[in-house]
Amino acid sequence: MSDKLKLGNKEFSSRFILGSGKYNLNLIKAAVEQGGAEIITLALRRANTKESENILDFIPKGVTLLPNTSGARNAEEAVRIARLSRELGCGDFVKIEIMRDAKYLFPDNEETVKATAVLAKEGFVVLPYMNPDLNVARDLVSAGAAAVMPLAAPIGSNKGLATKDMIQILIEEIDLPIIVDAGIGKPSQACEAMEMGAAAIMANTAIATAGNVPDMASAFKLAIEAGRKAYLTGMGRVLARGGSASDPLTGFLR
């Protein structure tokens, strides 16, 4: 049985997406070779350089680029960055990141919905990064998003599924892939999100700051696959509290 992640008109076997926070050649290499990543996020503002470290040169062939709009403070700036990215030949995929907060880097949901609507109409495959809120997720669906990317915890914090219950609701109520983005700090947390039914995991800091980057990339790959398999298989029941009563409450009925 093929189990593909569909985004726009593309299909992916891997459900691990490399985020853009900390970039270097070794990290990208590890993410692709040991982590099996087929999608790599690219901060367009970092590609905007004439120097030798241009990230575009680091991206291996066959990998899908996911340019993001980091640095944008409102919908208008995000739209301009996305258009520039398309002009530069970075393709039609775009991850919307709009931040009005320099401290926690929280996404601005309202502006994100606006930018999604504009870019989806222009034929972009729009993947919006958002603070998990069911109403906003529905608005993103209406606006033409290709997936919804809720944050698990503040970006770069490695704090795991701090917004677990909210993400679970999005998974249950939204018909688009839910890609958990930001805050995933350990493979076990990635696995847990996948067991919950997340479609994919985006991570960066957890791998970039690991003691051994290639091994951690590999650990994430295994964790994401394990979680996915468990989700597809159907989890065994977990009783909420203690065991079940041996004498049924309804035993008196005739």
72 binds another protein (CB under 8 A): yes
Catalytic residue among 4, 95, 103, 114: 95
Angle at 243 between CA 239 and CA 244, to 5 degrees: 90
Cα distances from 165 to residues 104, 128, 168, in angstroms, run 20, 19, 5
Please say which residue, 109 or 148, places its beta carbon nearer to another protein. Answer: 109
**Residue 95 appears among annotated catalytic residues:** yes
Find the binder of another protein among 99, 130, 167, 193 (CB under 8 A).
99
Beta pairing, strands 39-43 & 200-203 = unpaired
Shortest approach of another protein to residue 219 CB, angstroms? 19
One-letter amino acid identity for 199? A
- 212 belongs to the binding site for another protein (CB under 8 A): no
Q: Does 73 bind another protein (CB under 8 A)?
A: yes
Element (H, E) at 17: strand 16-18
**Contact pick of 50, 61, 241, 254 for another protein (by CB under 8 A):** 50
Among 8, 71, 91, 214, binds another protein (CB under 8 A): 71
Please identify which residue in 12, 16, 23, 124 interacts with another protein, judged by CB under 8 A: 23
Q: Name residues whose C-beta falls within 8 Å of residue 47's C-beta, 6 or more positions apart in sequence.
A: 54, 55, 56, 67, 88, 90
CA distance 66 to 219: 23
Site residues (vs another protein, CB under 8 A): 21-24, 43-46, 48-51, 53, 71-73, 77, 80-81, 84, 99-104, 156-158, 205, 208-209
Q: Supply the residues annotated as catalytic.
A: 95
